[in-house]
Copies of this chain bind each other. A is one copy, B any other.
Amino acid sequence: MEAKENSSTKARVEILDHGWVELQDMLGSDTDIVCAARTSYLGENKGEDRDKKLLFSLMEHGHGAPFETAVFRFRLRAPVLVWWQLVRHRIASYDLQSGRYVQLQDDFYEPVLWRTDDGESLFGEVALDFDAKLAAYYDISRTLYQEALDEGISKELARLFLPGFAVYYIGVWTVNARSLMNFMKLRMDLHAQKEIRDYAWVIYEDFFKPNLPWTAEAFERYVLKLEEEL
């Protein structure tokens, strides 16, 4: 359980222009995962070396069940763009801010760089031009949303006047380590959209790795296969 005491619990990591991730709390450690796996054999934990070796072997052979005994509870703020993809991960629990009951905040997401479909960045005049256009579009949206609310239009309809994909929502995400590794594998990948990739990497580097260091090392070796790519 030591990992837990050293954990980054409650520390907030900023992402994008107005987003962040916090680890509210977590259940379990590398040792607990090994302990759950040893249940099959009624075995006891056997010292650091053999425990770590067993954990690596679980990851290598795709024995996912023991990793379900570790559970993370994150609180995060992300644009709909990111949540839209995140909530599709079904083996997890979500408690999300409501756009029907709360006025949405108007600090919409503005990308630092404009990317093409090939992942190139636009620079110069064109980029500056679209920065300005986005800022203006967001201003119009803010005004219209507020006007609609002021005239008594429901929050659930007023949000039609919003740049929906750019609106930040706050939510609590409770997810076990197995399902989280599936998320990270897919969303840390270069083919994932940059915005969710940023969240996936922060979750991995700042929260997953410090709390489950052996699992992270095995995940890099057998799932991400980082070594092979060097």
Interface residues in chain A, defined as those with a beta carbon under 8 Å from any beta carbon in chain B: 1, 24-28, 32, 35-37, 39-42, 65-66, 68-69, 71, 73, 75, 80-81, 84, 87-88, 90-91, 93-102, 108-109, 111, 114-117, 119, 122, 126, 130, 133-134, 137, 140-141, 144, 147-148, 151-157, 159-167, 170-172, 174, 176, 193
Contacts and interface: CB of A to CB of B under 8 A. Distances in A.
The 10 closest A-B pairs by CB, nearest first: A164-B164, A68-B93, A27-B27, A90-B90, A164-B165, A36-B95, A40-B98, A117-B154, A36-B172, A39-B95
Contacts of A172: 35-36, 39, 69
Contacts of A174: 27, 68-69, 71, 176
A137 B151 contact: no
Contacts of A36: 95, 172
Contacts of A153: 114-116, 122, 130
Contacts of A166: 160, 164
Nearest to A148: B130
A172 B147 CA distance: 36
Contacts of A84: 80, 84
Number of copies: 4
A147 B160 CA distance: 21
A59 to B, nearest CB: 15
A164 B169 CA distance: 14
Q: Which interface residue of A1, A26, A71 has the most chain B CB atoms within 10 A?
A: A71
16 contacts: A32-B73, A35-B172, A40-B102, A65-B95, A69-B172, A81-B156, A88-B96, A115-B153, A115-B154, A115-B157, A116-B152, A117-B155, A122-B151, A137-B141, A137-B144, A156-B193
